[in-house]
Structure 1
Amino acid sequence: MSTNIDNRFAVVQAALTDELDRQTARLKELTEMNADTGDPGESHTQDALLAATRRSVEQVSGALRRIADGAYGQCEGCAGAIPAERLEVLPHARFCVPCQQKQVG
């Protein structure tokens, strides 16, 4: 059973590492393109893309850190297990659904 869990985490870790590489490359590209065009709308869009990409890099990095620390899949709110279904959809999830709702609300 432990081997199945280890394999599942290895697959998740590989997918998150690939995502981190993609997002880091995107962040680099967006940063290099971040020239002032004089168009406030374009500048706002560029800033939003940079912020979203930075946030994605932080989320994926955090998930990889939690895997390394042995805390992946544990809710940061209640310390309970985050359901596997939630982690499949949102592999960087830090909270179970009830605790996430408390964070937003």
Structure 2
Amino acid sequence: MTIDTDTARQRWLADLRGSLTQDFTTQTARLRELSELTADTGDPGDAHTHSAMLATTRNTLEQIGAALKRIDDGTYGQCEKCETAIPVERLEVLPQARFCVPCQQKHNG
């Protein structure tokens, strides 16, 4: 990599860190709101939906937190299975991606 490329990547990672941190804050507030919501409507469907929303929000927080950790430890953008670089285009669409597409497909079965 050249110095210009390194600088551009550092800037991109800094912007991404800011965006992910903001998303983490938003999702944390959402989780707090969902956790405090205790209205029992008597409808089992509502309880199931609420439970699913809690699980999804927790999962999102875990993924964002893991992506932030990878940025901090210098492994962001590297496939956790084959250790090749994950294409920037994939990371732009799915910033919390842990695997390149072929490894993700194998991971999903």
TM bin, normalised by shorter chain, reads over 0.9
Contact 1:74/1:94, CA 8 A, preserved across alignment: yes
Aligned position for 1:91: 95
Offset at residue 39 of structure 1 (A): 1.6
Q: CA separation of 1:83/1:34 partners in 2, compared to 1, >3 Å: closer, same or farther?
A: farther
Q: For structure 2, which runs of at least 5 residues remain unmatched after alignment?
A: none
TM-score (norm 1): 0.96
Aligned position for 2:8: 4
Q: Does 1:14 align with 2:18?
A: yes
* Corresponding pairs, count: 105
**1:36-47 paired onto structure 2 within 5 Å:** 36-47=40-51
Deviates more, 1:74-83 or 1:27-36: 27-36
**RMSD of aligned Cα (Å):** 0.9
Following TM superposition, where does structure 1 have runs of at least 4 consecutive aligned residues deviating by more than 6 angstroms?
Answer: none
Offset at residue 36 of structure 1 (A): 3.5
Offset at residue 40 of structure 1 (A): 0.7
1:24 to 11, 28, 42: 28
Q: For structure 1, which runs of at least 5 residues remain unmatched after alignment?
A: none
Identity %: 58
Offset at residue 3 of structure 1 (A): 1.1
| CA distance in 2: counterparts of 1:78 and 1:32, whole angstroms | 41
